[in-house]
Each structure stands twice: as structure tokens, then as C-alpha cells.
Amino acid sequence: MSEVVISAKALTKRYGAAVAVDRLDLEIEKGEVFGLLGPNGAGKTTTILMILGLTEPTEGEIRTVGFDPLRQPLEVKRRVGYLPDMVGFYDHVSGRENLAFTARLAGIPKGEITQRINKALERVRLVDTADNPVKTYSRGMRQRLGIAEILMRRVDVAILDEPTAGLDPQTTREFLDLVRSLRSEGMTIVLSSHLLELVQSVCDRVALFRNGRIGLVGRVQDLMRDVLGGSHVIHLAADGADIEGTLKGLAGVQKVARAADGTWRIDATQDVRADVARRIVEAGGNLQALNIASASLDEVYARFFEGTPHAKAA
Amino acid sequence: MQRQREGSPWTGLGAVFERELADNLSSIRMRLLELIVFIAGSAAVYSAIGELKDTVGEDRFLFLRIFTVAREPLPSFLAFLGFLIPIIAIALGFDAINGDFNRRTMSRILAQPIYRDAVLFGKFLAGLATLALFLIALWLYVMGLGILMLGLPPSGEEIARGIAFLVAAVAYGGVWLAVALLFSVLLRSPASSALSSLSVWLLFAVFWTMIVPFLTNALVSVDPFDPRTQLTAIEVALALERLSPNTLFAETTLALLNPSTRALGPLLMSQLHGAIVGAPLPPIQSLLLIWPQMTGLIAGLVVLFTLAYVAFQRQEVRA
């Protein structure tokens, strides 16, 4: 699990005076699902385009599947599949014909094309509609057709740019299941998203982007421990006692803070609900609600970048 | 560091070419234009043949006259073509590149293991092939009409001149296709690229002949007592006019379809000494006469395509 498929060193991309990606270091290993996360305009798509050799870096070095994407783009693109943000197809021809065209561009042997297309379409459950023109497809179906293209090409690495944008929750869940099943077959998957919480469940490791730089890289659990100090957040509604004073010093409690709506938020290293309840009742308070919420990447992101000015947006 | 990129730029050219050709041939806008051209062409040829039957007793090049003779109120078939070929070429090319950006297919196509070269070449060649197919069909149609209505087969020389004319027509269309392709690379909106291409066409089709005299006056001062300055003025005006692909095409067709054309510029009396006025040139001499014009058309096509190529290679993929 330590073979590096994508590596970037001090990668920089400037558009005139604007810096899209700023001295970025990145290593993505074979077989993992890697999330590039951050708000729009944080440099995720630019990074992806440089990985593929579709955009020339201003400075820095990049290797994709062992090749230089600028000098050996065909070798890179043969092994890497790309699903762009808001993928488009030729609308007046069928999904199958769209795939047949890319199959020829990808250099798939003529005899195999039909069979590989059918297999890919089956996998994304588009067989019934494959012969309808793409203009009749929904957003989710187009996304699946894009995945079918990657499946058909049998690439080693799949790069998915904002794959869940504009999908309804049901379709998103199906899509994430598909990503998991691809990973279990040994495909390396890089996906970018601005919806941190949504993808945290599928990513082995994530990189958090902000203003063209990566702030944090690592496993979701590790990041939560490192940044939040604990991965438990407890919401408490109570009155009639000095809540803050009562809970201070309780084993496992790191921080007690009052939220805007008058409830309390407790950050803890473990599930301290039982102790909290006991303490408040003993102090004569009225306990109204006590819920545990597992911490999310959104909080990691917010906490880590606290104080830094917000990205200039798209 | 190795600066050369690896792999053939032609990878995928065949696939792009076939897809674009199929797209061109099945698109509604091409069907409509073809319909218009066939109707207009039929009318022009029909009236030309009527005119020929009425006026011409004997002519060695009766078939070529079908292309050039006009009867009021219709223009000649040639005039129709000179007008319609650029429009067809622009219709084929104005959304070649920006159309793919707007459909959001460009980044997906370029992420396939091909170079951008294949995309641009494929699209241009498909446009040119569509144009050539269309012109060949039209040419055969006109020849067929001629045989049916005149009851005469064309002579070998007429066919040779007709084929040369066909080649010139494709080259002329290619120039306008390259203009449209260039605008489709430079401008992101297909509407503005279509309008820009059409305004360039309008400039050369309508206004260029009005602008040239002004430019000539500004460049050359004519002394009424010195015939040499007059000659210079004529030559400068001619050179300016030949910047227009329309002029080059008009001169080419004139020499090809009117075998008695001896020169496309000013002729001095001394040069005509011993010539039999009105005697036709052999086809090879006519070809020699228009060689510079043909070269000019093809050179213009290559330059415009190169500009589009350079612009496209440097373009950012993200829309």
C-alpha cells in the first residue's frame, strides 16, 4: 500500500497575478480513495488538470503513474480516467454511441469495444436507456455514463471532479457505493468535492484545500483527533445551574462553550454523556437534552482554517 | 530537460474525423443549406441553359457556359456559388471548437489519450470533406442537368476545366472554413463567432471593392501625364484586391471557365502583338495563369489554420 501513483512537489500555477495553486506537495498512493476537499476556487480543479497534463504548471514537478504529464501525456492519459465537473456528452446521439466514440479515441481494440461498453453500462445500470439520446438523460444518468466511460477504459486511476455536485441524496449514495466497489477492485480514486461531510465516509485520506494550498493531509480520523483534539461533540440543553463551572474538570471534557441558541457544546475525547448528566442533576440543574454528534470534516476544516481569510471564491 | 512531447499527434484523428463528418452530414443546418443551394443552383442552371438555347449558335465550350451565363433576373450559377460557398463553410466551422466547450465535452475528449492536434485537424478535415462532398454532388448534378437539357456530352477539355474549378471551389471554401474555425477558437460564444466570420465575409464580399480605390488613392499619386504612374496605380489596386479570397476565386474561375482569358491583370498593347483575340488557351496554360491565385488561396488557408492551431494549443481547458 505504499506505491505512489501521483506525486507533486512545490506545484504552482499562476494565471497572471492570481495564484491558483501555490507550492503544493501531494502524494497519492496506489489503491486508495483520496479526497481533494475545499471550497470552490481553492485550486482543486487546477490541481487535477495539472495531474492530467491538461494544464501546464508554472513551477514545480509532477509525476502521474510514473510519467511526466507534460512530456508523456498520452502515457498518462491512457492509465488515468477523468470525469470532469458537470460532464458533457454529445446530446443528440445515444449514450452507447458516446462511449463508442471515446472507446475509439482511447484506442480500445475494435473487437472488444461492444463487449466492454455493455459490461460498463451494466455496471452503472444504464443498459435500458443506453440507446436513447443523451439529451433525455438526467444529471445522475450523465454522471453514471461518465463513470461507465472510465470503467470501459479500465484505467488504473480515476479522477472525479465534483462527482456529487447536483445529485440528489439517493443518487449520491448510489454513487458513493459505486466508488467503494471500484476501490475494492484495486482502482485508485481521486475525488474532489466541496461537500466535505458527504465524502468523508468514502475517502481513505483527504487533503484540505484553502486558497491554493493544502492545509492538512491525512486520514479523516487522524485529522479529527489532531485538529479537534477529540472526535466527540456533545450538545447539551440545560439550565438552573452553573453549567460551565460544573462540567469543567470532568475527565475527558476539553471545552465547554455556549452556542448562539443557548444550548451548550462540549468537545470531549470520549463519550462523557453519562458523567455530564450525573453532574448536572447533582448540581440541581434541569437537564433537557443531551445528544452526541460525531465530529465531521466540516468542523475540522472550520477549526483548522479559523482566522485565515476566506477564499476569494470561484 | 526533455522538451519534446512523446507519442503521435495523429492518434485519434480518424475517430474525430469520422464523428465530425457524421455530425456535419446529419445536422439540420447542413440539410437546409444544401436544399437552398440545390434550389438556387437548379434555377440558375435552368435559366442559363434557356439563355444558351436562345442565343448561342455554336460554341466550343457550351458546357462551361452553363456555369457562367446568366439570364435576368437570376445570377449565374458561378455567382451563386461565390456567394454561398463561404456561407456553407462558415456554417460548418463557426462552432467547431467553442461548441465542444459549451457542451462541456472538450475536457472529457482531451482527457482521452490523444493530443489536441487530432481534435483540431479532425474537425477541419471533416469540414473540408463535407464541403468537398457537397460540391462534387452539386457539380455532378449540374453536369447531369447539362447533358439532359442540351443533349450533348461535355468534351474532355471541359471536364478537365470543370475538375480544376471544383478544386478551386474547395480551396476557396477551405479559406472560409479556416476563418470560421479561427473565430470558434478565439471566441467562446458560437453566436459571436458566427457573426464575426460573417462580418469578415461581408467585408470581402461587398465592401472590399469599394475600399480598394480609396486605399489606392492614398498609396499612389497618379500623374495624369505619366502613364507609368497610372499603371502603378492599377497594379497596386489589383494587389490590394487580391488580398480578398473572393477576388482570387473570381479570377481563378474566370480563367478556368472562360478559356479565352489570357491575363488577369493589365495587358499592354505590345504584349498582345501577334495574338489572335478571342482564341482559347489550352487548359494547361489556363492553369498556369491561375497558379498564383490557387497558391494564394491555399496559403491563406494554411496561415489561418496555423493561427487557429496556435491559439487552440495555448488555450486553457477549463471553461
* Cβ-Cβ contacts under 8 Å for A175 (sequence gap 6 or more): A140, A143, A144, A147, A163, A164, A167
pLDDT band at A93, cuts 50/70/90?
A: very high
Share of residues in chain A with pLDDT > 70 (%): 95
Q: Which of A17, A69, A33 is nearest to B317 (CA)?
A: A69
pLDDT band at A48, cuts 50/70/90?
A: very high
B7 close to A (CB below 8 A): yes
Contact A258, A264 (CB under 8 A): yes
State the Cα–Cα distance between residues A50 and A69, nearest whole angstrom. 8
Closest partner residue to B105 among A72, A78, A90, by Cβ? A90
Compute the count of residue pairs across chains A and B with CB atoms less than 8 Å apart. 86
Q: Do B108 and A82 touch (CB under 8 A)?
A: yes
Taking residues A121-139, report their average pLDDT.
94
B12 close to A (CB below 8 A): yes
3-state secondary structure A9-64: EEEEEEECCEEEEEEEEEEEECCCEEEEECCCCCCHHHHHHHHHCCCCCCEEEEEE
Closest partner residue to A71 among B6, B103, B317, by Cβ? B6
Q: What radius of gyration, in Å, describes the C-alpha atoms of chain B?
A: 22
pLDDT, one tens digit for every residue, chain B (319 residues): 456 788 888 889 999 999 999 999 998 988 898 898 889 888 888 888 888 888 866 778 888 888 888 888 888 899 889 889 999 999 999 999 999 999 999 999 999 999 999 999 999 999 999 999 999 999 999 889 888 988 888 899 999 999 999 999 999 999 999 999 999 999 999 999 999 999 999 999 989 999 999 999 898 888 888 888 888 999 999 999 999 999 999 999 999 998 888 888 777 777 777 777 778 888 898 999 999 999 999 999 999 999 999 999 989 887 5
What's the gap in Å between the CA of B13 and the closest CA on chain A?
8
State the Cα–Cα distance between residues A202 and B51, nearest whole angstrom. 79
Strand partners, A209: A214
Contact B117, B18 (CB under 8 A): no
Q: Do B7 and A52 touch (CB under 8 A)?
A: no
Contact B208, B244 (CB under 8 A): yes
Specify the pLDDT at position A2.
Answer: 66
Contact B86, B201 (CB under 8 A): yes
State the Cα–Cα distance between residues A236 and A103, nearest whole angstrom. 57
From first CA to last CA, the distance across chain A in angstroms is: 35
Structure letter (DSSP) for residue A138: -
Scored b (16 or more CB within 10 A) or e, A262-300 reads eebebbbeeebbebbeebbeeeebebeebeeeebbbebb
Q: Do B103 and A88 touch (CB under 8 A)?
A: yes
Q: Which of A35, A64, A66 is nearest to A52 (CA)?
A: A64
Closest partner residue to B111 among A45, A77, A101, by Cβ? A77
- Residue B103 CB neighbours (<10 A): 15
- With 0-12 / 13-18 / 19 or more C-beta atoms within 10 angstroms meaning exposed / middle / buried, residue B56 is exposed
Closest partner residue to B11 among A71, A84, A107, by Cβ? A107
Which of the pair, A240 or B10, is modelled with greater confidence?
Answer: B10
Question: Looking at this protein, which amino acid is placed at residue A82?
Answer: Y
Q: What radius of gyration, in Å, describes the C-alpha atoms of chain A?
A: 23
Specify the pLDDT at position A230.
Answer: 60
State the best of B108, B313, B316 to mutate against chain A, taking most chain A CBs within 10 Å.
B108
Grid coordinates of A88: 458533457
Q: Which of A62, A68, A67 is nearest to A47 (CA)?
A: A62
Specify the pLDDT at position A312.
Answer: 40
Give A96-127 pLDDT, tens digit per residue.
999 999 999 999 999 999 999 999 999 999 99
Which of the pair, A170 or A313, is modelled with greater confidence?
Answer: A170
B72 close to A (CB below 8 A): no
Give the torsion sign (CA, B276, B279, B285, B288): positive
Q: Which of B156, B108, B163 is nearest to B140 (CA)?
A: B163
pLDDT band at A311, cuts 50/70/90?
A: very low
pLDDT band at A258, cuts 50/70/90?
A: confident
Which of the pair, B165 or A223, is modelled with greater confidence?
Answer: B165
ipTM: 0.86
State the Cα–Cα distance between residues B174 and B135, nearest whole angstrom. 12
What's the gap in Å between the CA of B246 and the closest CA on chain A?
35
Closest partner residue to B108 among A46, A55, A87, by Cβ? A87
Could you give the C-alpha distances from A176 to A143, A164, A170, in angstroms and in order? 12, 9, 10
pLDDT band at A307, cuts 50/70/90?
A: low
Q: Do B3 and A71 touch (CB under 8 A)?
A: yes
Structure letter (DSSP) for residue A92: T
Taking residues A193-214, report their average pLDDT.
87
Specify the pLDDT at position B293.
Answer: 94
Q: What average pLDDT is seen over chain A? A: 87
Specify the pLDDT at position A313.
Answer: 38
The phi-psi region of residue B11 (left if phi > 0; otherwise alpha if psi is between -120 and 50; otherwise beta) is beta
State the best of B3, B30, B110 to mutate against chain A, taking most chain A CBs within 10 Å.
B110
Q: Do A104 and B2 touch (CB under 8 A)?
A: no
Specify the pLDDT at position B57.
Answer: 66
* Cβ-Cβ contacts under 8 Å for B129 (sequence gap 6 or more): B17, B21
Q: Do B113 and A105 touch (CB under 8 A)?
A: yes
Specify the pLDDT at position B319.
Answer: 54
